Structure 1
Amino acid sequence: MYFGGTAFKKQRDVAPNRYADAAGHAAPYMDVITTSGVATGHEADPSKIAAFRKGIGDRPLALASGITPENAAAYGDVDCFMVATGINEPGNFYDIDPDRLKALIDACKQLA
């Protein structure tokens, strides 16, 4: 399954008024259209997710940036979260905090 980055961190910038177009153009080339916030650990603007959803309809959408147990509910239009830093041990880029992971799983269950 191909998760393809679109208007993704560290790629060339896409103007916000073109997010829906970018997502729609990308959709035929990937299984899961995947976007992010502006950088690792930075949450995406919910309006960006809404534009992506508008551009791809019911196609799968993933978000790979800034997801935490505290903000997951803001991304109900997303089908898949790709997460690491949002649930890591404080100040530790490499190790997942089991309690934060459980909290994120619980938050996701509320979205289902």
Structure 2
Amino acid sequence: MGFLSSIFGAKDNSKVTEAIKAGAFLVDVRSAGEFSSGSVKEAVNIPLDKISSQLSKFKGKKNIVVFCQSGNRSGQAKGILEQNGIQDVINGGSWSNVNQCVG
């Protein structure tokens, strides 16, 4: 994955779609207010500023897809998770992008 796509999310939705089909843990890292205005079915809301204090929710999960409004905050969340030893994290980009992959 290229530098920009790692920051702003996957432009190739096949990885996101495959992860979702495999039962991915879907995490919306937007604020609670943004999340309540609409998100992806089955997604949980763990705002970016809470990721570090909520690491236990990610332990042992495979195929984690993080997403937000544009892909910027989810890129930061992916970095935080990887710095803490959590692998198999995909930056899905925007929540609308991930929502299209849920189908």
Answer 1 or 2: higher relative contact order, Cα 8 Å, separation at least 6: 2
TM-score range, shorter chain: 0.3 to 0.5
Determine which structure has the larger strand proportion and give its number: 2
Question: Hey, which of these two has a bigger chunk of helix by percent?
Answer: 2
TM-score (norm 1): 0.40
Greater Rg, structure 1 or structure 2?
Answer: 1
